[in-house]
Amino acid sequence: MGKLTGTLLAAALFVPLSSADTVKVPKGLMPLVWPADNPYTPAKAYLGRLLYFDKRLSADASVSCATCHDPKHAFTDAAPVSTGIRGQKGNRSAPTVINRAYSLAQFWDGRASTLEEQAIGPMANSIEMGNSHDIVVSTLRSIRGYGPLFAKAFGTDEITLDQVAKSIATFERTVLSGDAPYDRYKAGDKSAMTPQQVRGMGIYFDRAKCDQCHEGINFTSNMFANLGVGTDKPDPDPGRYAVTKNPKDWGSFKTPTLREIEHTAPYMHNGSLATLMDVVDYYDKGGIPNRNLDPRIKKLNLTQQDKEDLVAFLKALSGSGWQHIRAPEIFPQ
């Protein structure tokens, strides 16, 4: 068997077996809306999964998207801040990829307007993957096994950065969490949540009013807020202000989803709060005062039992739809 024939035959092993043109959405979530210029196909999602886990997209082949957004940690890295090539540390915690299909602006500061734009950002970040976009593309073009996969997904084996971005974003939009105890409870199964979780739900919506920011089916407004996190430190992270240059945005960060919050510790943009109880305690005290503290952040005066009930409710937001995703055992060569 010739080398090229063998390569193409090996690549064929990666062609998706499913012919479905839709993604099954767990209960409690809305149907996915795919971008007009990047509709879903199984071939594109399959290719995106390979690229997502492929460390060869980084400058030294040591880091992939999954390094900081690992399925083992609910698509985070379980660290206060992320580690890139050569052990370099960033200054922000890796947000989960779960349910990013329902997000608007991406990153903690919202600097990327789409998942496609976000997907390629870390590749050219000197601390994260340390590569250039041109080298990413040339690397993929040099791997013969990728050509047939791009041809399957896009109708051409001419690999481009746009195709890389669309593939990874398509895969990421399939990473979903729903059908949680909360969803089943709201659908009529009153045994789906424990009495403690039901009490915590009352605190969440009625007393603490957490849904002022963490609202809707994905438990986020997709907006930005200043909670005071880190504002008492030297040289605090300016957050959204670095993007907009609007003084009102100083210290504001994107409101994350609370889906799977039980599994995405540590918390806040800088990973400074280790547990859900730490988070509840932080909100209970009214955050950290600063010139831009969101007016919705006020002392809650919760009892210890209230706090425990609220944490129990947050755990009722852990569902299913993403746990089956694993890193590929083999990659194109």
Domain boundaries, the chain: 3-172, 181-315
* Token pair recorded at residue 4: 């090229």
What's domain 181-315's superfamily in CATH?
A: Cytochrome c-like domain (1.10.760.10)
221/254 Cα distance (integer angstroms): 9
Give the number of C-alpha atoms closer than 13 A to the C-alpha of residue 194, restricted to the C-beta side: 13
What local confidence, expressed as pLDDT, does residue 259 receive?
98
Does position 7 have pLDDT exceeding 70, yes or no?
no
How confident is residue 234, by pLDDT bands cut at 50, 70 and 90? Answer: very high
- On the question of a common fold for 3-172 and 181-315, the answer reads yes
The model's pLDDT over 64-114, given as tens digits with 9 standing for 90+, comes to 999 999 999 999 999 999 999 999 999 999 999 999 999 999 999 999 999
How confident is residue 22, by pLDDT bands cut at 50, 70 and 90? Answer: confident
The model's pLDDT over 162-219, given as tens digits with 9 standing for 90+, comes to 999 999 999 999 999 999 999 999 999 999 999 999 999 999 999 999 999 999 999 9
**From residue 71, how far is each of 25, 153, 265, 322 by CA, in Å?**
18, 24, 14, 8
User: Rounded mean pLDDT of 156-162?
Assistant: 94
Cis ω on the peptide bond leading into residue 266 (within 30° of 0)?
A: yes
Catalytic residue numbers, as ranges: 128
**From residue 192, how far is each of 13, 216, 219, 253, 260 by CA, in Å?**
41, 19, 19, 33, 16
What local confidence, expressed as pLDDT, does residue 15 receive?
39
Phi, psi of 106 (to 5 degrees): -110, 165
In whole numbers, what is the pLDDT of the chain averaged over residues? Answer: 93
Percent of the chain scoring above 70 in pLDDT = 94
114/253 Cα distance (integer angstroms): 17
What local confidence, expressed as pLDDT, does residue 12 receive?
37
What local confidence, expressed as pLDDT, does residue 21 receive?
65
The model's pLDDT over 38-48, given as tens digits with 9 standing for 90+, comes to 999 999 999 99
Q: Which of 111, 108, 67, 107 is nearest to 86 (CA)?
A: 67
What local confidence, expressed as pLDDT, does residue 16 receive?
41
**From residue 166, how far is each of 49, 50, 143, 171, 300 by CA, in Å?**
11, 13, 19, 9, 43
How confident is residue 9, by pLDDT bands cut at 50, 70 and 90? Answer: very low
Domain 3-172 has CATH 3.30.70.270: no
